[in-house]
């Protein structure tokens, strides 16, 4: 089996490891959050790790019922001095490799100017670690593919759980177990449904959603681009109607990541999409007149990163249809060094 495909299907196993080793994985970071009474966290990343930063920032705002506790920046925004930074904020650099120059230099700069820094990575021996006062490292991931799949969702899982543990209510162990359970189902159902839909034959994809689901949709955009070199867009769902819908055609698949709070209006977008002979697919917990991959009820967006799994599979299925190898993505390297 291709490396990228194998790693997509390993996500249940890696989530189980996160569940089994959660306390040990997060102990330093959790102690820092508690000891410093952190209220504000700015997540910093590049590429997929930037969209991971976006999802975690949105989730922190949701948990704290505020729009001013979670922030997300690309590494370049910090090293180019485009953003004002605050001393009452924890800056968490996110990097699978721990080596991306922009992210490492951003954290170096923040540490040098006496900001509190942390790191989330899959490589504990990497350059990002010395720049962080506390870190979470998922060394067991050992992702070989250039394309981030299980590393993205596992880092999202562990830090989403930590945010819920420190800032949310409810029992984190129950949450951890529920995500592991659901992942198995989502992988199986998505694979089966997308095969039935013959998804590789679509030549234009659109991924829509809000907040954490928009972050998942943007990650899907990168995945489908990197693996299949296919045209793909991502927007807030209703924003799609303000111009971008002009590209809809018979070969377009529009995937709307939805939940109980937003599905009623988002189904109107699905209706409009199909009026232009394109195809709509809902990722949602509610019965729908449109094609549907069913997720558990998620009014608090707690399974946001699982919405990426169908999009990962779309990428490799489209690549297979086009005779492309996702293990050798065009123009890409595993780490971007300046």
146 binds ligand F1P (CB under 6 A): yes
CA 275 to chain centre: 30
**Distance, CA of 308 to CA of 153 (rounded, Å):** 8
What is the pattern of x (binds ligand F1P, CB under 6 A) and - over residues 37-66? Answer: ---------xxxx-----------------
Query: What is the SS3 assignment for 44?
Result: strand
Q: What is the 3-state secondary structure (H, E, C) of 33-51?
A: HHHCCCCEEEEEECCHHHH
Question: How many residues interact with ligand F1P (rule CB under 6 A)?
Answer: 16
**Distance, CA of 211 to CA of 235 (rounded, Å):** 10
Radius of gyration of the chain (CA): 19
Angle at 175 between CA 58 and CA 30, to 5 degrees: 65
Residue (147 or 255) nearer to ligand F1P, CB: 147
Q: Which stretch binds ligand F1P (CB under 6 A): 92-100, 213-221, 258-266, 295-303?
A: 92-100
Structural contact between residues 281 and 254, judged by C-beta atoms closer than 8 angstroms = yes
The least CB distance from residue 25 to ligand F1P, in Å, is 17
141 binds ligand F1P (CB under 6 A): no
- Find tokens 């169908």 and name the residue: 310
The least CB distance from residue 45 to ligand F1P, in Å, is 6
148 binds ligand F1P (CB under 6 A): yes
- Which helix (H) or strand (E) segment holds residue 338: the answer is none
The least CB distance from residue 75 to ligand F1P, in Å, is 8
Residue (143 or 165) nearer to ligand F1P, CB: 143
107 binds ligand F1P (CB under 6 A): no
**Distance, CA of 190 to CA of 313 (rounded, Å):** 8
Q: Which of 5, 96, 127, 307 binds ligand F1P (CB under 6 A)?
A: 96
Residue (45 or 70) nearer to ligand F1P, CB: 45
The DSSP code for 249 is -
Residue (293 or 324) nearer to ligand F1P, CB: 324
Residue (146 or 197) nearer to ligand F1P, CB: 146
Q: Which of 100, 137, 284, 288 binds ligand F1P (CB under 6 A)?
A: 100
Q: In what order do the strands lie in the sheet with 134-137?
A: 70-74, 40-45, 89-95, 116-121, 134-137
Residue (47 or 168) nearer to ligand F1P, CB: 47
**Distance, CA of 42 to CA of 265 (rounded, Å):** 31
Residue (288 or 312) nearer to ligand F1P, CB: 312
The least CB distance from residue 273 to ligand F1P, in Å, is 28
97 binds ligand F1P (CB under 6 A): yes
Structural contact between residues 183 and 15, judged by C-beta atoms closer than 8 angstroms = yes
Residue (222 or 256) nearer to ligand F1P, CB: 222
- Which helix (H) or strand (E) segment holds residue 159: the answer is helix 150-167
257 binds ligand F1P (CB under 6 A): no
**Distance, CA of 204 to CA of 193 (rounded, Å):** 18
Residues that bind ligand F1P (CB under 6 A): 46-49, 95-97, 100, 103, 146-148, 332, 334-336
């Amino acid at each position: 089996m291709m490396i990228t495909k194998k790693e997509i299907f390993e996500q249940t196993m890696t989530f189980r490891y996160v569940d089994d080793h959660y306390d040990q994985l997060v102990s330093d970071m959790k102690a820092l959050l508690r000891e410093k009474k952190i209220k504000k966290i700015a997540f910093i990343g590049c590429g997929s790790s930037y969209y991971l930063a976006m999802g975690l920032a949105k989730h922190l705002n949701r948990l704290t019922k505020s729009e001013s506790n979670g922030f997300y920046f690309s590494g370049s925004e910090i090293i180019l001095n485009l953003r004002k930074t605050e001393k009452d904020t924890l800056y968490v650099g996110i990097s699978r490799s721990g080596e991306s120059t922009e992210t490492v230099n951003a954290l170096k700069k923040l540490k040098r100017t006496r900001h509190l820094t942390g790191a989330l990575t899959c490589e504990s021996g990497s350059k990002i670690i010395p720049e962080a006062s506390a870190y979470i490292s998922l060394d067991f991931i050992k992702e070989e593919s250039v394309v981030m799949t299980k590393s993205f969702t596992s880092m999202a899982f562990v830090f989403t759980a930590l945010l819920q543990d420190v800032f949310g209510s409810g029992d984190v162990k129950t949450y951890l177990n529920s995500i592991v359970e659901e992942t198995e189902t989502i992988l199986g159902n998505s694979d089966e449904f997308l095969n039935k839909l013959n998804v590789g034959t679509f030549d234009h994809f659109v991924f829509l959603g809000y907040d954490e689901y928009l972050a998942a949709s943007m990650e899907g955009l990168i995945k489908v681009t990197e693996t299949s070199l296919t045209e793909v867009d991502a927007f807030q769902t209703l924003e799609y109607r303000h111009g971008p819908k002009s590209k809809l055609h018979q070969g377009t698949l529009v995937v709307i990541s939805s939940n109980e709070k937003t599905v009623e209006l988002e189904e109107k977008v699905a209706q409009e999409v199909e009026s232009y002979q394109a195809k709509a697919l809902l990722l949602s917990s509610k019965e729908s007149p449109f094609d549907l991959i069913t997720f558990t009820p998620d009014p608090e967006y707690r399974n946001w990163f699982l919405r990426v799994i169908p999009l990962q599979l779309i990428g490799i299925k489209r690549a297979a249809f086009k005779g492309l190898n996702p293990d050798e993505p065009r123009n890409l390297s595993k780490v971007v060094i300046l």
